[in-house]
Structure 1
């Protein structure tokens, strides 16, 4: 690996008197330091501009994160005014690209910086992003976290060892699962069936859902399972996700492996027998909502809060028996531990990056590092003591302002109104927040079940080299278009699986071997970080 040439900036400054003991501990004496723009940084930070996507649930009830109780409290504690800039809803990527192409950027940009053309390393080379390596003496809280968790440091770095920015970190494995297979428990109980674990058990259950009228309306209108083509929860059972994976540090591509043909054959069988929703290829979120609340869908893959929690809340009055539970990721053989499943990395890839336009780098570093302190973590995850949480035996407990909102806000929006921990940002998401946010027993049990995958073949958060990025992107754009079209045809039977080998050859012709090699080089670099 190329070692990064270190640039040392010599001095530490006293932060605002309003800063807490934790933040004040970050500040040293009063000599001068010069930032990249050449401006002396001997004055405390008064304000900064902060660009970040406004989460849709938040956008429904506020114009800016400046309205969030936790952000108000952070600003009161530090004396730093945060001026938020939010891209238009649904235009995150486009507006990020327009912004980085301009000469003047906000002080902090909160984004998945590896989506920058050529990755975060290229953004650093282009002087759009300032890596944190030279500033860690001003960030003792983040430094301690990364020293104690070397894998987090790897995930937060480029291949050259540059720290990209202040990361969003999920501290516990249960927080890294929020999506997985789920099934109607009341239907299972009615038909005297258990939660399925193997693909064969799934077939038995889906047949019963199709043939035994579990919704009790006397019509054969049940949709036993509603999942998209290539769904990881089921493709993974055959050892081949619909993506790249690694075996003993060797990169493979699932859709060309023999196991993927077995997966397609199973889906084709389910489709032909009416077990898989006949409209699976065209069903959008709105149609999914209608089918689930219309008491038609027996199983699917859904979110913990935006799925299990949401639908059970919606149905509790009209249909009190309605119950959705998580199910284990399916395997081929009984007793096997599933390998693949939807699981995010602890360092998610979203970073509050300090931009090349920032005139007060050292003071911005100190400010953002405060959010990783014990006090900062409490505020971002729980808000304001006495208003949105109280301490019970030393443990923070949300008040009714959040859990039983007096304005009638649904719990997801009440959380967004008061805290940052329900979205993402430059902080550690507290597991004590998650336990109170995800409160239904069905959700808690699903978190445990979905956490039970080995993930041993998962690709880590690698970065495609800048010099390979345009070629790689070109290959994968054409390849994905062809592959996705073929997968639909194989599942729906408009093309026979006798053509699978020919399909693999077509993918090779489109450059999949070269794409695998580019991924392999990226994995090797990641492992050498």
Structure 2
């Protein structure tokens, strides 16, 4: 039974009051035409949409203001199933097996998802995107990174692709005559100087150039510090093409040079000796306490947050952010560019006409009005418009409660979208500029969407083997010959088969 829908028109007018949200009758007509099938065939009434998504934080109240405003603008009726994250994978598997799925189903890449896509359960949407202005505009990598066998089956929840940046203590760097490190030797000299020159002036040897945690060499995440460092030095991003073969990063010279740097730092006690067991939260605490020069496990856009957290303990600290760079200039690993993606099951989306109407709905979510709603909320309640035409949050806690679940579960662009610009301070603006500039120099993971039966079956064992070997090498428990022997063991365990399968898939997709 559908809910009562009182007050929707009032809510829409609230959305449309903000800056670029000033609507006109033609815009509203276009919104209705689009959702009714201007791009997707004939349609008379509101489009009935069922959405399944993992629950982000506390689930919004039924018939919330934000949901009703979305419905009014897009001429739709939403039924959102917020599935608790802890139960999502089990619930997803049951829904896929039974065929009882919502019309738009948010998934992430794993073996179950891949199998379901390859089984033909979902619509291929790639050929349709050109007909939707907003969906066609994002960088193609957002779509390339979720293709299966070269075809697109999902709409991503867009996230920035080149997020790496060096967030650092500018006050320490200036006092010690340091610049942001570029070469391997620069990184060594920076670490040595910070450890030995007592930049916090407390007379104790308790400062670090950087404080690593155990995720430093995560085998999957392109945001892992060792991958960021090695890519800047010329290595591939997780997997790269070398002499016609798709090979892992750890088999390349720039990556091994970066690994040798960490080994040297460990041997000279210039890096925390417990890095292999440290949690990310503990590394954050060291930064927040004013003991670290570079915060490595973060993104450029969070530099201002890092500064604010630090200033609680060190009020006069000065923080800056700059791009990762190596001998060849700015070079950063491309991250997947999504936080999951929506697929459209054939069991619930019965026709091409209905698929097109659903795509029109998602296209509308990227328009200025909806972009502002999803990323800023309602004017006068969640944000106010500043004199220079930007948005400033009034109540961030209320925003997180009422708006953030929709922002995190529906496609939008946080800062670079078409909605009302967010008022940023100088460090925030610089962090976002680093991300924007990085996009020109991102290095893709060439195996991100390639299939390998061996990796699906044995990837966890292979990853654990090489991660342990890297940690042992850094800690001096393996010499260079011993580390190379561990790589050979990895190859015999199935690594060579993975290389062979990835290379064959890469060649097939490039035909």
Determine the C-alpha separation between the residues in 1 that align with 2:441 and 2:77. 42
Distance of aligned partners of 1:526 and 1:419 in 2 relative to their CA distance in 1, 3 Å threshold: farther
Does 43-52 or 181-190 show the bigger shift?
Answer: 43-52
Q: Which residue of the partner structure matches residue 398 of structure 1?
A: 391
Q: Which residue of the partner structure matches residue 514 of structure 1?
A: 497
Determine the C-alpha separation between the residues in 2 that align with 1:416 and 1:309. 22
Secondary structure at 2:193 match in 1: helix
Distance of aligned partners of 1:154 and 1:282 in 2 relative to their CA distance in 1, 3 Å threshold: closer
Q: Which residue of the partner structure matches residue 16 of structure 2?
A: none
Q: How far off is 1:488 after superposition?
A: 0.6
Distance of aligned partners of 1:133 and 1:45 in 2 relative to their CA distance in 1, 3 Å threshold: farther
Does 355-364 or 492-501 show the bigger shift?
Answer: 355-364
Q: Which residue of the partner structure matches residue 13 of structure 2?
A: none
Distance of aligned partners of 1:211 and 1:155 in 2 relative to their CA distance in 1, 3 Å threshold: closer
Q: How far off is 1:354 after superposition?
A: 1.6
Determine the C-alpha separation between the residues in 1 that align with 2:468 and 2:434. 32
Secondary structure at 1:25 match in 2: helix
Q: Which residue of the partner structure matches residue 329 of structure 2?
A: 337
Distance of aligned partners of 1:461 and 1:315 in 2 relative to their CA distance in 1, 3 Å threshold: same
Determine the C-alpha separation between the residues in 2 that align with 1:141 and 1:18. 17
Number of aligned residue pairs: 471
CA offsets per residue over residues 120-169 of structure 1, 9 Å max, x none? xx4245353223368669x63456548xx7666655643353x3133334
Q: Which residue of the partner structure matches residue 116 of structure 2?
A: 123
1:352 equivalent to 2:342? Answer yes
1:50 equivalent to 2:47? Answer no
CA offsets per residue over residues 209-244 of structure 1, 9 Å max, x none? 111111222211112212354321222344335721
1:383 equivalent to 2:374? Answer no
1:315 equivalent to 2:316? Answer no
Of 227, 233, 244, the residue aligned with 2:228 is 233
Q: How far off is 1:92 after superposition?
A: 4.4
Give unmatched runs, 5+ long, in structure 2.
Answer: 1-24, 218-225
Does 271-280 or 300-309 show the bigger shift?
Answer: 300-309
Q: How far off is 1:387 after superposition?
A: 4.7
Of 288, 291, 300, the residue aligned with 2:286 is 291
Secondary structure at 2:500 match in 1: helix
Q: How far off is 1:486 after superposition?
A: 0.6
On the 8 A contact 2:32/2:75 being kept in 1, the answer is no
1:132 equivalent to 2:132? Answer no
Distance of aligned partners of 1:365 and 1:456 in 2 relative to their CA distance in 1, 3 Å threshold: closer
Q: Which residue of the partner structure matches residue 506 of structure 2?
A: 523
Distance of aligned partners of 1:226 and 1:352 in 2 relative to their CA distance in 1, 3 Å threshold: same
On the 8 A contact 2:51/2:79 being kept in 1, the answer is yes
The equivalences for 1:2-13 within 5 A come to: none
Secondary structure at 1:508 match in 2: helix
Two-structure CA RMSD over aligned residues (Å):
3.9
1:500 equivalent to 2:483? Answer yes
Determine the C-alpha separation between the residues in 2 that align with 1:524 and 1:506. 26
Secondary structure at 1:217 match in 2: coil
1:245 equivalent to 2:240? Answer yes
Determine the C-alpha separation between the residues in 1 that align with 2:191 and 2:423. 28
On the 8 A contact 2:371/2:418 being kept in 1, the answer is no
Q: Which residue of the partner structure matches residue 465 of structure 2?
A: 482
Provide TM-score, normalisation by structure 2: 0.78
Q: Which residue of the partner structure matches residue 31 of structure 2?
A: 23
Determine the C-alpha separation between the residues in 2 that align with 1:355 and 1:297. 49
On the 8 A contact 2:239/2:248 being kept in 1, the answer is yes
Determine the C-alpha separation between the residues in 2 that align with 1:68 and 1:513. 53
Determine the C-alpha separation between the residues in 2 that align with 1:434 and 1:523. 38
Determine the C-alpha separation between the residues in 2 that align with 1:306 and 1:289. 16
Q: Which residue of the partner structure matches residue 8 of structure 2?
A: none
Determine the C-alpha separation between the residues in 2 that align with 1:435 and 1:461. 37
Q: Which residue of the partner structure matches residue 178 of structure 1?
A: 163
Q: Which residue of the partner structure matches residue 14 of structure 2?
A: none
On the 8 A contact 1:18/1:77 being kept in 2, the answer is no
Q: Which residue of the partner structure matches residue 99 of structure 1?
A: 95
Secondary structure at 2:99 match in 1: coil
Of 158, 169, 187, the residue aligned with 2:148 is 158
